[in-house]
Structure 1
Amino acid sequence: MRLTEVLKKKKKRLLSIDFGQAFTKIAYIELTPEGIVVLDYSLKKINLSEKDWPAVTGYINNFLKANSIPEKEAHLTISDFDSVYIKHLLLPAVRREEILEAIKWQIKPELPFNFEGSIVDWQVVKEYADEEGAKNITVMCAFANPEIINKYLSAVRECNLAPVRISSAPFNYACILSRLKNIPSTIAVLDIGHNNATVSIYCNNKLNFMRNLAFSSDKLTRSLTSTLMSDKGKIELSYEQAEELKIDFGIPADESGILKDNIRAIHVVSLMRPVLEGLTRETRRSFDYFTSTFKERSPSFLYVTGGGANLKNVEQYLARELNLNVSKLPLPDCINTQKIDKERLSRDEAQMASLLGAVLAGPEEINLLPQEIKTQKIEFVQKVSLRVVTIALAAIFLFLLFIFNFQLHDYKKRLRTARIHLETIANIRDIKQKIGVKAGLIKTIQKDRIPAGALLKLLSTIIGQNIVLDDLSLDQGSHTLILKGSVSVNEGTAEAVLADFIKRIKASTFFTQASLIASQNTGGIQEFEIKCDLSH
C-alpha cells in the first residue's frame, strides 16, 4: 500500500468556534475531498459583553468531552464588531508591500483603537482606473484590537486548543457564496443577530462593502414590550412574553387577524413598524451608497442569515419593501449535514452559515491571527516539513541501499555462477584438447593401416557355406593376409570350392592377389592355407 493511500485513510478533523455578542457556537467538522462533514454542533447564549469567560471555556470543554474530541486545531470567528473593525478603502494603486502603509494613513483617524500594534489583514477586491485614467484599488480591511483578541485566544488555549485562523462573519459568508450555484454576480447578505445587524455586499463572491445597521432581533422584541391594545384593553408584555409572541407569529402578514390573548395583529405591526422601517431604510441607503461610491450595480438578490432569519414572514416583508428577491442563506452542497438531526438543523441552520463558512476559507482569505502565532505556525510547519523531508530522504536512502544490496547479492550470485561456468568451460576445453591429441594419435596410428573391420565384413560376404576359417593372420607391414581353414566336403569337391573362394577373393578391390599355398586331406576334412596380398 502506498504512503498516500495510508494518509488518505485518516481524515482530518477540526473545530470551528464562533464568538458573538450574545451566542457562542461550536462545530466539530471533518474535512473531505468534496468539502466538509458536520459531525456535531452546539449553540449557547453567552453574553460576552459581560466578559463571562469561565462560561465560555466551560461550554467548550463540555462539548469536547461530550464528543470525545482529541483534535486541537480550531478556526475562530469573532462576530463582535466592537472587537473587529471592517472597512472598505479606496487607495491609489501601489506596490503590494506599500499597501499596508497606505491603509494606515487613511484609516488611522477613524479607527476606534490605536492602529499601532493592532492586528491588520486586507485583500484587494478590485482594480480600476478613474475618469482621469489614474489606477486605483478597492481594499477590504479587517482590524482587531490585540488586547481583546488575546482574551479570545486565552480562552481557547485554556481548553487546550490551537487556533489556526481568526476571521469575521462577513468574510465567512463569502466562502459560502463562492460555493453556491447560479447566483448573481452582485449579491447582499443581511445578518440579523441578537444584538446587532450587518448588511454586506459581494461582487463575484468577494466582500466589497459592509455596514453595521441600527437593528437587531433584540430591538424588535423590545418594541413589543410597549403598550398593546386588545379586547381586554391596554396590556403590556414582559420581555419573555414579547419574545414568545415574536417567535410564534413573526411579522403578521394579515394585519386584520387576531393573535393570541386577543392581541390584534395590526397593533403588533404598528409597534414593529418603526424598527422594521429603520431596517429597510438603512439597507436601502447602504445599497445607494455602494452603487454611487463604487460605481457598481445594486444587489439584485438579498440573503438573510443569523438568528433573525428565522423570524416568520421576514423574507416576504423585505422582498416587498426593498423590491428584491429575498431568501434565507442556504448551505452549499459541499457541506454535508446528514449526521445532524433534520429538525434540529432546520431550527439552527440560519445561525450556522458563518460557523461553517470559516472552515471553507482558503489561504488567501482574511486571517487575524497575531503575527507571532502565524510565525510559530510557519516555523512548526517548516520543522514538520523538514522532519517529513528528512524521513522521506532516509526512507529513500534505505530503499536505495536495500536495492543496492539486493543487486550486489544478485551480482555476486551471478559471478559465482559465471565462475562455475568458466571452470566447466575450461575443463571441457582441456578434455577437448586431450581428445584432439588422442584423435590425432589414433589418426596417426591408423594412417596407412588396413581397416580390419571392413576386411572381416568382406570375408563374411564372399566365404562359401562349406568353408570354415580357423585362423586369420594379418601383417600390416607386408600387407598380407593368411587364411587357414577347412572345407567339409569330399576331396574332389573341395578343390572346386577352394578355387571358387580364391576367385571371389581376387575379384575384391581389397586384394591384388590370392594363392593356395597348402592343402591336405585329414580324416576326410580338406584343410587349406591361402595367402592374400592386400591392395592397401
Structure 2
Amino acid sequence: MKEIITLDIGSHSIKLLGLKKTSRGPFLSHLAIKKIPKGIDQEDVRAISSILKLLMEDEGIKSKKIKLTLSSPGIQLRRMVMPSIPKNELTEAIKWEMKAYLPYTPEEATFRYHIIDQFTQDKAKKLDLLIVSCPSEIIEKILKISSDAGLEVEHLEVEAFSLWNALIFFEETKIGETLALLDFGAKKINLFIFKDGIIQFAREFTPGSDDLTRAIMEEIPSKEDLHLQFEAAERIKEEIGIPLDSPSIKKEIGPIDPSKLLFIIRPILERWISEINLSIEYYRTQFYGEHIDRMLICGGGSNLKNISSYLQRELRIPVKHFNPLSEILYDPKHVDSNLIEQMGSTFSTSFGASLSKPKEIDFLSPKLYFWERFPLDKIVSIGIPLITILIYILMIWQTETKLAKFERDQKDRMEKLKKLESMVFQFRQLKEKEEKIKRDLSILPSSIGKPIHYEEILIKISEMIPPNVSLTSLEITSETKNPKFELKSSKLKEAKSPDDEKRILYLSGLAFGNDIQVLSAISKVIEGLEQLPRFKNVKLLSTNENKSYNKFSAQFEIICDILPPMEPLQDKVP
C-alpha cells in the first residue's frame, strides 16, 4: 500500500501528513508539525531544509518522494474568459491578460490554468479559465529546500486547489449554494468563494493570526522572555480567545488584565471583519448580487477560541469550523488523536493535496518531449531545409541502390548468356558427333549393332526341356568345340565373340530313367531345338552313361547354330 507524503512549509512551521488509500477510504499514517524556531530567516534555505530533514527522520519516513503545497502572498488567482486558441498561444496570451492584476512582471512569474468550461458565444468558442500565477523565485526556493533535504518533489500545488479538493471530498460544495472558506495563516488570511461547486473568487488580506499574537504580547510585561511571551500569548488565544462577554471573564490569563483583552485584540478583529465584508461585497458586485449561504474556517489561526461564534455574529452568516481529519481513519501508533482534535484544521491544505485530484494545477515544470523544447519558428526554419536535404539524400541513395541492382542483374544476365553460349557450343558438338556416328553406322552391315535377344532363347529352351532332364551347361560360343562348363549359379554366363564369326549354342545335361526314357528325353530336346526359329543344324555330339547317381542316367552334349538377327523369326512347323 503506497503512502503519500505531503508537506506544507509555512512561515512558522512545517506540517507533514502521510496518507494511504484503502478500501475503507483514506487512512492517516503520519501526522506531525515542527515549528520553525524564532530568529530563523524565512529566506535561509539551508536552515529550513535542515528542519525538514529532521522532521522526516523523527517520523521514520524513508520515502524520498513527496508532494508540496504552495502558500505565498505573491500567488494570484483569477477567473477569466478567453478565446479558444492553441495551447502554446494560450499560455502567452494569459501572461498579457494577467499583467494588469500582478504586483510583479509576467517574466518573473510562472503561470498555470485550469479549464472550468468550454462554450460557444456569438459563434466563437470560448474558454472559462481559472488562472494562477506564482513568482518563480518562490517555486525555486521551495524546490531548493526539498532538494537539499534529499527529497524528490512529485507534485507542487497551490493552496486554493488543495482546499478545493478537500471540500469536494467531504461534499461541502453543493449545486445551488455559495460557500465561503477562510484559511487563517500566520501572515495572511485567504478567502475563497465557491458557487455550484466551482471556485469563483479568491483574495488574500492582512493582518494574519501572528498580528493578533503580537498585539497580546505587547501587553505582557517586557521582563518576560520573548519566547515565554509568545507562548503565553498563544495560550491566551487557545484558552480564552475572543471574549464574547467581557464581564463574564473569570479565568486567570496571566499578566494581562482580563477586562483589557477584548480591547487589545479588537483592532485586529475589526480589520478582519472589514476585509471580509469588503471582499464579499466586491464578489457580489462582480457576480450580480450573489449572497453567501455559509462559511467554513480552517488553518492554524482558526484555533482561536470563539472565532466561529464571533464571525457568525458579525457577518450574519452561518460559520463552521472545518477539520477534515476528524472523520479520517488513522494509526494510533503514529498519529496523536489530540493533534487531530486540536489542530486538524491546520492540515486542511496538506490533506487536500494528498487526495486524488479532480481539480489540479501542478507548478512543477512539465516534462516536455524533445520536439517541444524548441520554438515552432526555429523548428520551421531549421526543419524545412533539413527535410529537403534528407529527401535529396534519400533520392540519391535510392538511385544508387537501383543502379547497383541493375548492374548486378546485368552481370547475372551476362553470366547466364555465357553459360548458354557454352551449352549451344556443346550441343553443336554433340550433334556433330551424332551425325558422324550415323554416317559410320550407315557404312557397316545392317546386322551389326542389332543384338540377339538371349532372354527369348533361354525362355524357349526352358519350356521344351523334359522333366527327367537336367541341364548342366549352356554356352553360346563362336567356336566348334566341346568345353566343359560347370553351372555355378542360377545365372548363365554369355561368351562374347567377334561379330563376323558364327555363333553356336552348346548344351550338356543329364537324362534320368531307363534306356528308352533317356533316349526319348534326348530326342525331345533335339526336336525342341529344331522347332525353335533361332536354331538350325541341331546335332547330338555325345551320350555317355553316368554312374554317379543311384539310378540310371546318361550324360549328353548337343550343339546347334544360332541364326543372325537380320533373318526374320518365323515359327517352324513340325
Q: If the TM-score is normalised by the length of the shorter chain, which range does it land in?
A: 0.5 to 0.7
One-letter amino acid of the counterpart of residue 143, structure 1: S
The answer on whether the counterparts of 1:88 and 1:138 sit within 8 Å (CA) in structure 2 is no
Question: In structure 2, how many angstroms separate the alpha carbons of the residues matched to 1:58 and 1:202?
Answer: 38
The answer on whether the counterparts of 1:179 and 1:334 sit within 8 Å (CA) in structure 2 is no
Q: What is the correspondence of 1:525-536 to structure 2 with a 5 Å cutoff?
A: none
Question: In structure 1, how many angstroms separate the alpha carbons of the residues matched to 2:188 and 2:55?
Answer: 26
> Are 2:283 and 1:294 equivalent residues in the alignment?
no
Q: CA deviation at 1:247?
A: 2.6
One-letter amino acid of the counterpart of residue 168, structure 2: S
> Are 2:113 and 1:122 equivalent residues in the alignment?
yes
User: Between Structure 1 and Structure 2, whose CA radius of gyration is higher?
Assistant: 2
The answer on whether the counterparts of 1:74 and 1:165 sit within 8 Å (CA) in structure 2 is yes
Equivalent residue for 2:198? 206
Equivalent residue for 1:371? 366
* SS of match in other structure, 1:38: strand
> Are 2:53 and 1:52 equivalent residues in the alignment?
no
The answer on whether the counterparts of 1:86 and 1:140 sit within 8 Å (CA) in structure 2 is no
With over 3 angstroms needed to count, the CA separation of the structure-2 counterparts of 1:129 and 1:328, relative to structure 1, is farther
Equivalent residue for 2:10? 20
> Are 2:81 and 1:88 equivalent residues in the alignment?
no
Q: CA deviation at 1:183?
A: 5.0
Equivalent residue in structure 1 for 2:272, among 275, 279, 296: 279
Equivalent residue for 1:106? 97
Equivalent residue for 1:79? 71
Q: CA deviation at 1:137?
A: 5.2
Question: In structure 1, how many angstroms separate the alpha carbons of the residues matched to 2:257 and 2:192?
Answer: 35
> Are 2:313 and 1:320 equivalent residues in the alignment?
yes
The answer on whether the counterparts of 1:21 and 1:80 sit within 8 Å (CA) in structure 2 is no
Question: In structure 2, how many angstroms separate the alpha carbons of the residues matched to 1:119 and 1:199?
Answer: 22
With over 3 angstroms needed to count, the CA separation of the structure-2 counterparts of 1:224 and 1:71, relative to structure 1, is closer
With over 3 angstroms needed to count, the CA separation of the structure-2 counterparts of 1:60 and 1:242, relative to structure 1, is closer
Question: In structure 1, how many angstroms separate the alpha carbons of the residues matched to 2:119 and 2:246?
Answer: 49
Question: In structure 1, how many angstroms separate the alpha carbons of the residues matched to 2:280 and 2:158?
Answer: 21
* SS of match in other structure, 2:93: helix
With over 3 angstroms needed to count, the CA separation of the structure-2 counterparts of 1:160 and 1:240, relative to structure 1, is closer
One-letter amino acid of the counterpart of residue 16, structure 1: T
**Superposed CA offset, 1:283-325 (max 9, x none):** 1111111121133622211111111111110000000001111
Aligned-residue sequence identity (percent) comes to 25
Equivalent residue in structure 2 for 1:175, among 148, 165, 168: 165
Question: In structure 1, how many angstroms separate the alpha carbons of the residues matched to 2:97 and 2:16?
Answer: 36
> Superposition RMSD on alpha carbons, in Å?
3.2
The answer on whether the counterparts of 1:180 and 1:332 sit within 8 Å (CA) in structure 2 is no
Equivalent residue in structure 2 for 1:336, among 316, 329, 343: 329
Question: In structure 1, how many angstroms separate the alpha carbons of the residues matched to 2:68 and 2:9?
Answer: 8
With over 3 angstroms needed to count, the CA separation of the structure-2 counterparts of 1:265 and 1:36, relative to structure 1, is same
With over 3 angstroms needed to count, the CA separation of the structure-2 counterparts of 1:61 and 1:92, relative to structure 1, is closer
Question: In structure 2, how many angstroms separate the alpha carbons of the residues matched to 1:336 and 1:296?
Answer: 41
With over 3 angstroms needed to count, the CA separation of the structure-2 counterparts of 1:298 and 1:364, relative to structure 1, is same
One-letter amino acid of the counterpart of residue 221, structure 1: T
Equivalent residue in structure 1 for 2:147, among 142, 157, 161: 157
**Superposed CA offset, 1:33-53 (max 9, x none):** 554322112212227753232
With over 3 angstroms needed to count, the CA separation of the structure-2 counterparts of 1:238 and 1:280, relative to structure 1, is same
The answer on whether the counterparts of 2:4 and 2:66 sit within 8 Å (CA) in structure 1 is yes
* SS of match in other structure, 1:28: strand
With over 3 angstroms needed to count, the CA separation of the structure-2 counterparts of 1:307 and 1:67, relative to structure 1, is closer
Question: In structure 2, how many angstroms separate the alpha carbons of the residues matched to 1:205 and 1:23?
Answer: 31
Question: In structure 1, how many angstroms separate the alpha carbons of the residues matched to 2:197 and 2:294?
Answer: 13
> Are 2:296 and 1:303 equivalent residues in the alignment?
yes
Q: CA deviation at 1:239?
A: 4.7
Equivalent residue in structure 2 for 1:348, among 335, 343, 351: 343
The answer on whether the counterparts of 1:119 and 1:143 sit within 8 Å (CA) in structure 2 is yes
Question: In structure 1, how many angstroms separate the alpha carbons of the residues matched to 2:126 and 2:251?
Answer: 55
With over 3 angstroms needed to count, the CA separation of the structure-2 counterparts of 1:227 and 1:318, relative to structure 1, is same
Equivalent residue for 1:518? none
**Superposed CA offset, 1:480-527 (max 9, x none):** xxxxxxxxxxxxxxxxxxxxxxxxxxxxxxxxxxxxxxxxxxxxxxxx
Question: In structure 2, how many angstroms separate the alpha carbons of the residues matched to 1:161 and 1:32?
Answer: 25
With over 3 angstroms needed to count, the CA separation of the structure-2 counterparts of 1:160 and 1:50, relative to structure 1, is closer
* SS of match in other structure, 1:171: helix
**Superposed CA offset, 1:314-344 (max 9, x none):** 0000000011111111317884334322112
The answer on whether the counterparts of 1:26 and 1:60 sit within 8 Å (CA) in structure 2 is no
Q: What is the correspondence of 1:427-442 to structure 2 with a 5 Å cutoff?
A: none
One-letter amino acid of the counterpart of residue 342, structure 2: R
With over 3 angstroms needed to count, the CA separation of the structure-2 counterparts of 1:228 and 1:156, relative to structure 1, is closer
One-letter amino acid of the counterpart of residue 159, structure 2: A
**Superposed CA offset, 1:444-470 (max 9, x none):** xxxxxxxxxxxxxxxxxxxxxxxxxxx
With over 3 angstroms needed to count, the CA separation of the structure-2 counterparts of 1:68 and 1:330, relative to structure 1, is closer
> Are 2:248 and 1:253 equivalent residues in the alignment?
no
With over 3 angstroms needed to count, the CA separation of the structure-2 counterparts of 1:265 and 1:66, relative to structure 1, is closer
Question: In structure 2, how many angstroms separate the alpha carbons of the residues matched to 1:197 and 1:365?
Answer: 22
Question: In structure 1, how many angstroms separate the alpha carbons of the residues matched to 2:326 and 2:92?
Answer: 40
* SS of match in other structure, 2:282: helix
**Superposed CA offset, 1:254-307 (max 9, x none):** 211344258554421122112111111111111111121133622211111111
Q: After superposing the two structures, state which structure 1 stretch, 145-154 or 188-197, moved more.
A: 145-154
**Superposed CA offset, 1:367-389 (max 9, x none):** 111235x769x99xxxxxxxxxx
The answer on whether the counterparts of 1:15 and 1:73 sit within 8 Å (CA) in structure 2 is yes
The answer on whether the counterparts of 1:179 and 1:332 sit within 8 Å (CA) in structure 2 is no
With over 3 angstroms needed to count, the CA separation of the structure-2 counterparts of 1:75 and 1:262, relative to structure 1, is closer
One-letter amino acid of the counterpart of residue 53, structure 1: V
The answer on whether the counterparts of 1:22 and 1:195 sit within 8 Å (CA) in structure 2 is no
Equivalent residue for 1:37? 27
Question: In structure 2, how many angstroms separate the alpha carbons of the residues matched to 1:90 and 1:173?
Answer: 21
Question: In structure 2, how many angstroms separate the alpha carbons of the residues matched to 1:333 and 1:216?
Answer: 25
Equivalent residue in structure 2 for 1:63, among 48, 52, 55: 55
Equivalent residue for 1:190? 182
Q: CA deviation at 1:363?
A: 6.7
Question: Matched residue pairs, number?
Answer: 357
* SS of match in other structure, 1:25: strand
Equivalent residue for 1:483? none
Question: In structure 2, how many angstroms separate the alpha carbons of the residues matched to 1:294 and 1:137?
Answer: 18
Q: CA deviation at 1:228?
A: 8.8
Q: After superposing the two structures, state which structure 1 stretch, 241-250 or 184-193, moved more.
A: 241-250
Question: In structure 1, how many angstroms separate the alpha carbons of the residues matched to 2:65 and 2:171?
Answer: 30
* SS of match in other structure, 2:107: coil
Structure 2 portions without partners, runs of 5+: 222-227, 374-574
| TM-score normalised according to structure 1 size | 0.60
* SS of match in other structure, 1:50: coil
